[in-house]
Copies of this chain bind each other. A is one copy, B any other.
Protein backbone atom coordinates (compact mmCIF):
# COMPACT_ATOMS: atom_id res chain seq x y z
CA UNK A 1 0.00 0.00 0.00
CA UNK A 2 2.98 2.31 0.35
CA UNK A 3 3.89 4.62 -2.51
CA UNK A 4 5.84 3.23 -5.46
CA UNK A 5 8.71 5.59 -4.78
CA UNK A 6 8.96 4.35 -1.20
CA UNK A 7 8.98 0.67 -2.19
CA UNK A 8 12.40 0.97 -3.77
CA UNK A 9 13.60 3.37 -1.09
CA UNK A 10 12.72 0.92 1.65
CA UNK A 11 14.45 -1.89 -0.22
CA UNK A 12 17.59 0.13 -0.77
CA UNK A 13 17.28 1.79 2.62
CA UNK A 14 20.38 3.35 4.04
CA UNK A 15 23.17 0.83 4.33
CA UNK A 16 24.63 3.05 7.04
CA UNK A 17 21.49 3.03 9.14
CA UNK A 18 20.99 -0.70 8.63
CA UNK A 19 24.50 -1.20 9.94
CA UNK A 20 23.80 1.07 12.91
CA UNK A 21 20.92 -1.22 13.83
CA UNK A 22 23.11 -4.29 13.19
CA UNK A 23 25.82 -2.82 15.40
CA UNK A 24 23.33 -2.44 18.25
CA UNK A 25 22.33 -6.08 17.85
CA UNK A 26 25.93 -7.31 17.73
CA UNK A 27 26.71 -5.28 20.85
CA UNK A 28 23.85 -7.01 22.66
CA UNK A 29 25.16 -10.40 21.55
CA UNK A 30 28.92 -10.03 22.05
CA UNK A 31 29.15 -7.06 24.41
CA UNK A 32 29.78 -3.52 23.18
CA UNK A 33 33.52 -3.79 23.89
CA UNK A 34 33.87 -6.63 21.39
CA UNK A 35 32.20 -4.83 18.49
CA UNK A 36 34.13 -2.34 16.35
CA UNK A 37 31.33 -0.27 14.94
CA UNK A 38 32.71 2.28 12.49
CA UNK A 39 29.45 2.62 10.62
CA UNK A 40 27.81 5.83 11.78
CA UNK A 41 28.95 9.45 12.04
CA UNK A 42 27.71 9.67 15.62
CA UNK A 43 30.19 11.89 17.53
CA UNK A 44 32.01 10.29 20.44
CA UNK A 45 33.23 13.54 21.95
CA UNK A 46 30.57 14.88 24.31
CA UNK A 47 29.04 18.31 23.74
CA UNK A 48 31.09 21.03 25.45
CA UNK A 49 30.11 21.70 29.10
CA UNK A 50 28.88 25.10 27.95
CA UNK A 51 25.99 23.35 26.20
CA UNK A 52 24.81 21.78 29.44
CA UNK A 53 25.26 25.07 31.29
CA UNK A 54 23.34 26.97 28.62
CA UNK A 55 20.46 24.46 28.70
CA UNK A 56 20.17 24.73 32.47
CA UNK A 57 20.51 28.50 32.58
CA UNK A 58 17.98 29.02 29.79
CA UNK A 59 15.53 26.53 31.32
CA UNK A 60 15.83 28.28 34.70
CA UNK A 61 15.67 31.87 33.58
CA UNK A 62 13.78 32.28 30.34
CA UNK A 63 10.04 32.75 30.07
CA UNK A 64 8.75 29.34 28.96
CA UNK A 65 6.15 30.97 26.69
CA UNK A 66 8.87 32.67 24.69
CA UNK A 67 11.35 29.83 25.05
CA UNK A 68 9.03 27.13 23.72
CA UNK A 69 6.68 29.21 21.58
CA UNK A 70 6.45 29.75 17.88
CA UNK A 71 8.71 32.38 16.41
CA UNK A 72 9.21 33.44 12.78
CA UNK A 73 9.72 30.32 10.64
CA UNK A 74 13.30 31.42 9.96
CA UNK A 75 14.07 31.31 13.68
CA UNK A 76 14.61 33.80 16.52
CA UNK A 77 15.90 37.08 15.17
CA UNK A 78 18.56 37.47 17.85
CA UNK A 79 19.83 33.94 17.24
CA UNK A 80 20.09 34.58 13.49
CA UNK A 81 21.83 37.87 14.22
CA UNK A 82 24.34 36.09 16.46
CA UNK A 83 25.04 33.47 13.80
CA UNK A 84 25.48 36.12 11.09
CA UNK A 85 27.87 38.21 13.19
CA UNK A 86 29.94 35.18 14.09
CA UNK A 87 30.30 34.23 10.42
CA UNK A 88 31.28 37.80 9.57
CA UNK A 89 33.97 37.82 12.24
CA UNK A 90 35.39 34.50 11.16
CA UNK A 91 35.18 34.81 7.40
CA UNK A 92 35.00 38.52 6.62
CA UNK A 93 31.51 38.12 5.16
CA UNK A 94 28.74 40.69 5.65
CA UNK A 95 25.65 38.68 6.54
CA UNK A 96 22.78 39.80 8.72
CA UNK A 97 19.76 38.04 10.23
CA UNK A 98 17.99 38.12 6.86
CA UNK A 99 20.61 35.82 5.41
CA UNK A 100 20.11 33.10 8.02
CA UNK A 101 17.36 30.49 8.37
CA UNK A 102 17.66 28.22 11.38
CA UNK A 103 17.04 24.59 10.36
CA UNK A 104 16.35 21.12 11.74
CA UNK A 105 19.96 20.06 11.09
CA UNK A 106 21.72 20.37 7.75
CA UNK A 107 19.63 17.56 6.23
CA UNK A 108 16.48 19.65 6.58
CA UNK A 109 18.34 22.67 5.25
CA UNK A 110 19.23 20.77 2.09
CA UNK A 111 15.63 19.62 1.71
CA UNK A 112 14.40 23.18 2.17
CA UNK A 113 16.73 24.57 -0.44
CA UNK A 114 15.98 21.82 -2.98
CA UNK A 115 12.26 22.27 -2.39
CA UNK A 116 12.82 25.97 -2.97
CA UNK A 117 14.85 25.70 -6.15
CA UNK A 118 14.11 22.50 -8.03
CA UNK A 119 11.55 21.98 -10.76
CA UNK A 120 11.03 18.40 -11.92
CA UNK A 121 13.95 17.33 -14.11
CA UNK A 122 16.31 20.00 -12.80
CA UNK A 123 19.81 18.69 -12.36
CA UNK A 124 21.99 18.79 -9.27
CA UNK A 125 25.62 17.91 -9.87
CA UNK A 126 27.71 16.38 -7.13
CA UNK A 127 31.13 14.80 -6.89
CA UNK A 128 31.62 11.15 -6.06
CA UNK A 129 32.22 9.91 -3.50
CA UNK A 130 29.27 11.62 -1.78
CA UNK A 131 26.83 11.05 1.08
CA UNK A 132 24.28 8.56 -0.28
CA UNK A 133 21.26 10.47 1.04
CA UNK A 134 21.91 13.27 -1.46
CA UNK A 135 20.19 11.16 -4.08
CA UNK A 136 17.05 11.01 -1.94
CA UNK A 137 17.10 14.69 -0.99
CA UNK A 138 17.18 15.59 -4.68
CA UNK A 139 14.62 13.03 -5.81
CA UNK A 140 12.22 14.20 -3.06
CA UNK A 141 11.62 17.15 -5.40
CA UNK A 142 11.86 15.18 -8.66
CA UNK A 143 15.30 16.55 -9.38
CA UNK A 144 18.04 14.47 -10.96
CA UNK A 145 21.36 13.91 -9.20
CA UNK A 146 24.20 13.97 -11.73
CA UNK A 147 27.43 12.36 -10.48
CA UNK A 148 30.91 13.40 -11.43
CA UNK A 149 33.02 10.26 -11.15
CA UNK A 150 35.56 10.01 -8.33
CA UNK A 151 39.12 11.13 -8.69
CA UNK A 152 40.80 8.42 -6.65
CA UNK A 153 44.22 10.04 -6.86
CA UNK A 154 43.53 12.77 -4.29
CA UNK A 155 39.70 12.93 -4.16
CA UNK A 156 39.59 16.56 -5.28
CA UNK A 157 36.70 16.97 -7.75
CA UNK A 158 37.28 16.13 -11.41
CA UNK A 159 36.71 19.55 -12.90
CA UNK A 160 36.96 18.56 -16.57
CA UNK A 161 34.20 16.05 -16.21
CA UNK A 162 32.27 18.56 -14.10
CA UNK A 163 32.37 21.16 -16.86
CA UNK A 164 31.17 18.63 -19.41
CA UNK A 165 28.23 17.65 -17.25
CA UNK A 166 26.86 21.16 -16.76
CA UNK A 167 23.76 21.67 -18.91
CA UNK A 168 20.95 24.19 -19.25
CA UNK A 169 19.13 22.12 -16.65
CA UNK A 170 21.85 22.37 -14.02
CA UNK A 171 20.28 24.22 -11.10
CA UNK A 172 22.63 23.36 -8.26
CA UNK A 173 26.08 22.00 -7.54
CA UNK A 174 26.19 20.18 -4.24
CA UNK A 175 29.59 20.45 -2.60
CA UNK A 176 30.68 18.80 0.65
CA UNK A 177 34.03 19.76 2.11
CA UNK A 178 35.43 18.53 4.49
CA UNK A 179 34.09 15.54 2.68
CA UNK A 180 32.05 12.63 3.84
CA UNK A 181 33.31 9.91 3.19
CA UNK A 182 36.92 10.81 2.26
CA UNK A 183 37.88 13.41 4.87
CA UNK A 184 39.35 15.45 2.02
CA UNK A 185 39.13 19.26 2.12
CA UNK A 186 38.62 21.02 -1.21
CA UNK A 187 41.50 23.42 -1.68
CA UNK A 188 41.15 27.11 -2.44
CA UNK A 189 42.49 26.37 -5.92
CA UNK A 190 39.70 23.84 -6.43
CA UNK A 191 37.01 26.30 -5.26
CA UNK A 192 38.39 29.05 -7.50
CA UNK A 193 38.52 26.78 -10.53
CA UNK A 194 35.07 25.40 -9.85
CA UNK A 195 33.68 28.92 -9.45
CA UNK A 196 35.27 30.09 -12.70
CA UNK A 197 33.68 27.19 -14.58
CA UNK A 198 30.29 28.04 -13.11
CA UNK A 199 30.59 31.75 -13.93
CA UNK A 200 31.38 30.82 -17.50
CA UNK A 201 28.53 28.34 -17.79
CA UNK A 202 25.99 30.72 -16.23
CA UNK A 203 26.86 33.25 -18.92
CA UNK A 204 26.84 30.66 -21.66
CA UNK A 205 23.37 29.37 -20.75
CA UNK A 206 21.93 32.55 -19.26
CA UNK A 207 20.95 30.58 -16.15
CA UNK A 208 21.57 30.78 -12.43
CA UNK A 209 23.49 27.87 -11.00
CA UNK A 210 23.67 27.74 -7.20
CA UNK A 211 26.43 26.07 -5.26
CA UNK A 212 24.85 24.36 -2.27
CA UNK A 213 27.64 23.84 0.22
CA UNK A 214 26.86 21.15 2.79
CA UNK A 215 29.12 21.96 5.72
CA UNK A 216 28.46 19.78 8.76
CA UNK A 217 32.20 19.10 9.05
CA UNK A 218 33.47 22.68 8.63
CA UNK A 219 34.95 22.86 12.15
CA UNK A 220 36.49 19.40 12.03
CA UNK A 221 39.86 19.96 10.38
CA UNK A 222 43.32 18.92 11.53
CA UNK A 223 46.56 20.84 11.61
CA UNK A 224 46.45 24.16 9.82
CA UNK A 225 44.15 23.18 6.98
CA UNK A 226 41.83 26.00 5.84
CA UNK A 227 38.34 25.40 4.54
CA UNK A 228 37.51 28.22 2.08
CA UNK A 229 34.17 29.96 2.75
CA UNK A 230 32.61 29.53 -0.65
CA UNK A 231 30.28 32.57 -0.63
CA UNK A 232 33.44 34.66 -0.96
CA UNK A 233 34.46 32.94 -4.18
CA UNK A 234 31.14 32.45 -5.91
CA UNK A 235 28.16 34.76 -5.61
CA UNK A 236 25.38 32.19 -6.02
CA UNK A 237 26.39 30.12 -3.02
CA UNK A 238 24.01 28.83 -0.36
CA UNK A 239 25.48 27.19 2.74
CA UNK A 240 23.89 24.45 4.84
CA UNK A 241 25.44 24.14 8.29
CA UNK A 242 24.83 21.82 11.20
CA UNK A 243 25.85 21.78 14.86
CA UNK A 244 25.63 17.97 14.82
CA UNK A 245 29.39 17.49 14.70
CA UNK A 246 30.78 20.86 15.77
CA UNK A 247 28.90 20.76 19.09
CA UNK A 248 28.16 17.00 19.11
CA UNK A 249 24.39 17.54 18.94
CA UNK A 250 23.27 15.28 16.05
CA UNK A 251 20.13 14.10 17.83
CA UNK A 252 18.97 17.65 18.54
CA UNK A 253 18.56 18.56 14.86
CA UNK A 254 19.92 22.06 14.81
CA UNK A 255 21.67 23.93 12.02
CA UNK A 256 21.10 26.77 9.60
CA UNK A 257 21.04 27.88 5.98
CA UNK A 258 22.98 30.91 4.77
CA UNK A 259 21.31 32.65 1.82
CA UNK A 260 23.51 35.66 1.00
CA UNK A 261 21.81 38.84 -0.24
CA UNK A 262 23.92 38.62 -3.40
CA UNK A 263 22.40 35.40 -4.76
CA UNK A 264 20.20 35.76 -7.83
CA UNK A 265 16.58 36.43 -6.85
CA UNK A 266 17.52 36.66 -3.19
CA UNK A 267 14.12 37.97 -2.10
CA UNK A 268 12.24 35.12 -3.72
CA UNK A 269 14.72 32.49 -2.64
CA UNK A 270 14.68 33.60 1.01
CA UNK A 271 10.88 33.94 1.12
CA UNK A 272 10.38 30.58 -0.59
CA UNK A 273 12.84 28.88 1.75
CA UNK A 274 10.85 30.17 4.75
CA UNK A 275 7.66 28.79 3.18
CA UNK A 276 9.38 25.48 2.40
CA UNK A 277 10.50 25.24 6.03
CA UNK A 278 6.88 25.56 7.07
CA UNK A 279 5.14 23.35 4.55
CA UNK A 280 7.65 20.53 4.83
CA UNK A 281 6.46 20.41 8.42
CA UNK A 282 9.67 21.46 10.14
CA UNK A 283 7.94 24.83 10.83
CA UNK A 284 11.03 26.08 12.67
CA UNK A 285 14.25 24.76 14.19
CA UNK A 286 13.78 23.46 17.76
CA UNK A 287 13.48 26.60 19.87
CA UNK A 288 15.49 25.74 22.99
CA UNK A 289 18.39 24.49 20.87
CA UNK A 290 18.36 27.68 18.79
CA UNK A 291 19.04 29.59 21.99
CA UNK A 292 21.61 27.06 23.19
CA UNK A 293 23.73 27.24 20.03
CA UNK A 294 23.58 31.05 20.10
CA UNK A 295 24.96 31.00 23.63
CA UNK A 296 27.65 28.53 22.56
CA UNK A 297 28.54 30.31 19.35
CA UNK A 298 32.27 30.28 20.17
CA UNK A 299 32.34 26.75 21.54
CA UNK A 300 33.88 23.85 19.68
CA UNK A 301 34.12 20.14 20.11
CA UNK A 302 37.45 18.72 21.28
CA UNK A 303 39.08 18.10 17.92
CA UNK A 304 42.22 16.63 19.50
CA UNK A 305 40.24 13.53 20.42
CA UNK A 306 39.37 12.84 16.80
CA UNK A 307 42.88 13.77 15.76
CA UNK A 308 44.38 11.08 18.00
CA UNK A 309 41.91 8.56 16.55
CA UNK A 310 42.80 9.68 13.07
CA UNK A 311 46.53 9.27 13.56
CA UNK A 312 46.26 5.95 15.36
CA UNK A 313 43.91 4.50 12.79
CA UNK A 314 45.81 5.82 9.79
CA UNK A 315 49.15 4.62 11.07
CA UNK A 316 47.77 1.30 12.22
CA UNK A 317 46.06 0.52 8.95
CA UNK A 318 48.87 1.62 6.65
CA UNK A 319 51.33 -0.39 8.74
CA UNK A 320 49.13 -3.43 8.11
CA UNK A 321 49.46 -2.85 4.39
CA UNK A 322 46.13 -1.14 3.77
CA UNK A 323 46.01 1.83 1.41
CA UNK A 324 44.29 5.11 2.18
CA UNK A 325 44.71 8.85 2.03
CA UNK A 326 45.22 10.57 5.36
CA UNK A 327 42.05 12.56 6.05
CA UNK A 328 42.41 16.30 6.62
CA UNK A 329 38.95 16.84 8.01
CA UNK A 330 35.68 15.27 9.20
CA UNK A 331 36.01 11.98 11.07
CA UNK A 332 36.08 9.48 8.23
CA UNK A 333 38.85 7.49 6.66
CA UNK A 334 38.27 6.11 3.16
CA UNK A 335 40.10 2.82 2.83
CA UNK A 336 40.92 1.17 -0.47
CA UNK A 337 39.66 -2.40 -0.27
CA UNK A 338 42.25 -5.05 -1.11
CA UNK A 339 39.61 -6.71 -3.28
CA UNK A 340 37.57 -4.98 -5.99
CA UNK A 341 34.23 -5.92 -4.45
CA UNK A 342 33.85 -3.60 -1.45
CA UNK A 343 30.77 -5.44 -0.24
CA UNK A 344 32.74 -8.67 -0.05
CA UNK A 345 35.29 -6.83 2.10
CA UNK A 346 32.54 -5.42 4.33
CA UNK A 347 31.28 -8.95 4.92
CA UNK A 348 34.76 -10.26 5.58
CA UNK A 349 35.23 -7.50 8.17
CA UNK A 350 31.96 -8.39 9.85
CA UNK A 351 33.39 -11.80 10.78
CA UNK A 352 35.69 -9.86 13.11
CA UNK A 353 32.82 -7.72 14.38
CA UNK A 354 34.23 -4.80 12.39
CA UNK A 355 31.47 -2.70 10.85
CA UNK A 356 32.37 -0.40 7.97
CA UNK A 357 30.29 1.02 5.11
CA UNK A 358 30.93 0.02 1.47
CA UNK A 359 32.19 2.83 -0.76
CA UNK A 360 29.59 1.88 -3.34
CA UNK A 361 27.02 3.49 -1.00
CA UNK A 362 28.90 6.72 -1.72
CA UNK A 363 29.23 6.20 -5.47
CA UNK A 364 32.80 4.88 -5.19
CA UNK A 365 33.20 1.12 -5.25
CA UNK A 366 36.46 -0.45 -4.15
CA UNK A 367 36.62 1.52 -0.90
CA UNK A 368 35.03 1.44 2.54
CA UNK A 369 34.26 4.30 4.90
CA UNK A 370 35.56 4.00 8.45
CA UNK A 371 33.92 6.49 10.81
CA UNK A 372 36.53 7.04 13.52
CA UNK A 373 34.29 9.13 15.80
CA UNK A 374 34.46 6.27 18.29
CA UNK A 375 36.17 5.58 21.60
CA UNK A 376 39.96 5.56 21.30
CA UNK A 377 39.91 2.04 22.77
CA UNK A 378 37.74 0.90 19.89
CA UNK A 379 40.43 2.01 17.47
CA UNK A 380 43.23 0.40 19.47
CA UNK A 381 41.37 -2.85 20.03
CA UNK A 382 40.21 -3.08 16.44
CA UNK A 383 43.72 -3.02 15.03
CA UNK A 384 44.55 -6.65 15.89
CA UNK A 385 41.25 -7.58 14.21
CA UNK A 386 42.16 -5.51 11.16
CA UNK A 387 45.49 -7.39 11.22
CA UNK A 388 43.67 -10.71 10.94
CA UNK A 389 41.59 -9.25 8.14
CA UNK A 390 44.75 -8.05 6.37
CA UNK A 391 46.15 -11.57 6.57
CA UNK A 392 43.12 -12.90 4.71
CA UNK A 393 44.17 -10.71 1.81
CA UNK A 394 47.93 -11.38 2.13
CA UNK A 395 48.61 -7.70 2.71
CA UNK A 396 51.63 -8.14 4.92
Q: CA separation between A59 and B60, bound complex, in Å?
A: 12
Residues from chain B with Cβ under 8 Å of A283 in the complex: 104-105, 107, 250, 253
Pick the interface stretch among A1-9, A224-232, A310-318.
A1-9
Interface size on A, residues (CB 8 A): 84
In the complex, the chain B residue whose C-beta lies closest to that of A4 is: B119
Q: CA separation between A116 and B2, bound complex, in Å?
A: 6
CB of A252 closer than 8 Å to a CB of B: yes
Given A3-B118, A13-B271, A280-B140: A21 touches B110 (CB 8 Å cut-off): no
- Which residues, 83 to 131 on A, are CB-close (under 8 Å) to B? 104-105, 107-112, 115-119, 122
CB of A299 closer than 8 Å to a CB of B: no
Asked if A6 contacts B272 (CB within 8 A), the reply is yes
Pick the interface stretch among A28-36, A40-48, A347-355.
A40-48
Pick the interface stretch among A69-77, A328-336, A388-396.
A69-77
A236-271 CB mask vs B (1 if < 8 Å, else 0) is 000000000000111111100000000011001101
In the complex, the chain B residue whose C-beta lies closest to that of A49 is: B64
CB of A275 closer than 8 Å to a CB of B: yes
Q: List 14 A-B contacts (CB under 8 A).
A: A3-B116, A3-B118, A40-B70, A43-B65, A56-B56, A69-B250, A108-B282, A111-B281, A250-B283, A251-B286, A253-B282, A253-B285, A281-B282, A286-B286
Closest 4 CB pairs of A and B: A251-B287, A107-B281, A108-B281, A111-B281
